[in-house]
Amino acid sequence: MSALAGTGVLTRLALRRDRLRLPLWVVGLAALFASIGNSISDLYDSDAARLENAQVRADNVVTRAFTGPAPGSSSGALTVSEGLVFTCVLVALMNILLVVRHTRQNEELGRAELVGSASVGRHAGLTAALLLAGLANAALIVLSTLALLGMGMPAGGSVLAGVALGTVGMAFAGLTSIGAQLTESARTATGLGGLVLATMFLLRAAGDAFGDTASDKVTVNPAWPSWISPLGWGQQLRPYGESRLWPVALLLACFAVSVLVAVQLSVHRDVGTGMLPARRGAARARSSLLKPLGLVWRLQRGLLLGWIVGIAVFGAVFGGIGDQVEDLFSSEESAQFVRDLGGGGDLVDAYFAGMMGLLSVVVAGFTVQALIRLRSDEENGPTEAVLATAVSRTHWVLAHTVIALLGTALVLAALGLSTGLAYGAVSDDLTGALGDLLETTLAQLAPTAVLAGFALAVFGLLPRGAATVTWAAFAVCLVIGQFGTLLDLPDALIDVSPFTHLPDLPAESLTTAPMLVMSALAAALAAVGVAGFRRRSLALGG
């Protein structure tokens, strides 16, 4: 079939380009999932403890929404509840980035045009990207199964858990191949993928939250939204529990249909263009654009808006169930779970402290994303053009930092505001709820600033590795925030994340000392970054 001519060569090329990146992803994901399993086995070491925990997971709406219920009460089943959805989200992310990198990015940068002029078929590029995704996901299935088997988990469930990870990955590889046909820029295609992923997560979360707990008080039959989300399908394989294989058919069908749609779309467009037409814009710049601060604002405002809307939805959901917290966490175990997460005292306060703490770390994802732009623009050209004008390096970095922190404050405020409004509405104490929750979320600006300072320091001192190191630091904070207390990680490790050094607001009260220390640390790190950047040559791409 001539439309596929050259697929082999392109696949080898893609493998060569990703020879380091993909193995790291695959090994990292398998190791993450296995380490969650390991901690769970250590933590719940008797049948009674496991059953109790499984019941808490089914009983607790927030856990159900966040991680999903357990498909049974074995160690493996608890591992699935704790880590499957979370790992699936990361697997989906790997597939989104992979497919965009090997399809739309090649087109945007003009590589596809050059390659397409050789004897390469029309669909070879997409096919090569999907083959690579297939290889990565297959490797993930094998590795994660082996890792789980190595920990002494039952064979059937281990295979099924691996299959869940890999096939969810394939479904997202397929969905992304559609997105890559729609937009002209790789950045937008990745953003579109992220949006779909977030929507699928929310659907799955809603499905589990509104599901019916079965008579065993452990398993939950999800409501319909779970059934339109690939993340829901993967979860419904129920490894170490009922062990169903048929949802795999849904995932593979999703992949197949998506690819067919993508192929149809690609036949109807030209190389380099998207299905969504590029719009014209202003012939003159507004005066607000003409300063570095205005420029950076313009570059980041789309991203910021997306974050504000997304986080406001989450906040409204968590705030809206705030008045039911006492009922939702009625058992002593589940109440203890909340207090572990969010500090002692009033259960409602502990609940909000825990939830807002977790979400604030997620918000730092915006901060990192915004600051990484410094590095990508340096690599791709715009920074060279700016620094060849009368803009100093300090000015340029500060403009990015101000917008990143201002944006973070806005996202945190949106989180506090939406949670506070929703909770205020259901609890009839609007002013109290708003004040408390705004203080809670805005206080998170201090630890986020430390992470931002770290990002700047890495940018100044280690430009080539800046993106990787900064995202890794964010991932560490996220894992510690999500699992730190739960998994009894050593204190020394937990202390690494700046987010663990804030009092559990609103359960505890705000103290100035940690805020001051964190602000000073953030400023010092940022100063190191600026000094490093002023001293070094631009690290240009190519």
Partner 1 sequence: MLTNVPSPGGDPGIAISIRDLVKTFGDTTALDSLRLTARSGEVHGFLGPNGAGKSTTIRVLLGLLRKDSGQATLLGGDPWNDAVELHRRLAYVPGDVNLWPNLTGGEAIDLLGSLRGGLSDTRRRELLEKFSLDPSKKMRTYSKGNRQKVALVAAFSSDVDLYILDEPTSGLDPLMEAVFQECVQELRQAGKTILLSSHILAEVEKLCDRVSIIREGRTVESGTLSELRHLTRTSLKVETETPPADLQSLSGVHKLVVEGHQAEFEADTARLAEIHRHLASLGVRSLTSAPPTLEELFLRHYGDQSAAEPAETVVGAR
User: Would you tell me which residues interact with partner 1 (CB under 8 A)?
Assistant: 108, 184-185, 187, 278-285, 289-292, 295, 298-299, 302, 380-382, 384-392, 535-538
> CA neighbours within 13 Å on the CB side: how many for 150?
12
Alpha-carbon radius of gyration of the chain: 24
Question: What's the CA gap between 140 and 145, in Å, rounded?
Answer: 8
Report the candidate in 399, 518, 529 with the shortest Cα–Cα distance to residue 458.
Answer: 529
Comparison of 122 and 187: residue with beta carbon closer to partner 1? 187
CB-CB neighbours of 42 under 10 Å = 11
Tell me how far apart the alpha carbons of residues 349 and 329 are, in angstroms, rounded to a whole number. Answer: 13
Query: Which of 320, 163, 145 lies closest to 236, judged by CA?
Result: 163
The phi and psi torsions of 212 (rounded to 5 degrees) equal -100, 130
d(CA 95, CA 191): 13
Strand partners, 213: 220
Instruction: Give least dist CB 61 to partner 1, A.
Output: 40
The nearer residue to partner 1, 117 or 389, going by C-beta atoms, is 389
Determine whether 146 is exposed, middle or buried from the number of CB atoms within 10 Å of its CB (0-12, 13-18, 19+). middle
User: Nearer Cβ to partner 1, position 49 or 289?
Assistant: 289
In the bound complex, what is the minimum distance in angstroms from residue 107's beta carbon to partner 1? 12
Q: Which is nearer to partner 1, 267 or 285 (CB)?
A: 285
Give 221's strand partners. Answer: 212
CB of 539 to partner 1, least distance (A): 10
What's the closest the beta carbon of residue 365 comes to partner 1, in angstroms? 21
For partner 1, the closer of residues 240 and 533 by Cβ is 533
**Helices assigned H by DSSP within 238-291:** 247-267
Long-range contacts of 485-490 (CB under 8 A, 24+ apart): 485/340, 485/341, 486/43, 486/82, 486/340, 486/341, 487/36, 487/39, 487/40, 487/43, 488/39, 488/42, 488/43
Minimum distance from residue 164 beta carbon to partner 1 (Å): 37
In sequence order, the 6+-apart residues with CB closer than 8 A to the CB of 334 are 56, 59, 60, 328
Shortest distance, position 387 Cβ to partner 1, whole Å = 6
- Closest contact distance (angstroms) between CB of 366 and partner 1 is 18
Three-state secondary structure string covering 454-511: HHHHHHHHCHHHHHHHHHHHHHHHHHHHHHCCCCCCCHHHHCCCHHHHCCCCCCCCCC
**Least spacing, CB of residue 112 vs partner 1, in Å:** 15
Cβ of residue 186: shortest distance to partner 1, in angstroms?
10
- Report in angstroms how near the CB of residue 529 gets to partner 1 at its nearest: 17
Measured from the CB atom, the residue of 385 and 516 that comes closer to partner 1 is 385
Q: How far is the CB of 452 from partner 1 (least distance, A)?
A: 22
Contact 39, 488 (CB under 8 A): yes
Minimum CB distance to partner 1 smaller for 31 or for 289: 289
DSSP 198-253: HHHHHHHHHHHHTPEE-TTSS-EE--GGGGG-HHHHHHTT-TTTT---THHHHHHH
Least spacing, CB of residue 97 vs partner 1, in Å = 19
Q: Are 378 and 386 in contact (CB under 8 A)?
A: no
Alpha helices in 44-154 (DSSP H): 47-59, 61-66, 75-79, 85-102, 104-108, 111-117, 124-150
Helix (H, G, I), strand (E, B) or coil at 57: helix
Our CB check for partner 1 shows the closer of 16 and 286 to be 286
Q: Which is nearer to partner 1, 214 or 385 (CB)?
A: 385
Question: Which residue, 330 or 392, is less far from partner 1 as judged by CB?
Answer: 392
> Of the two residues 18 and 108, which places its CB atom closer to partner 1 in the complex?
108
For partner 1, which is the closer residue by CB, 318 or 533? 533
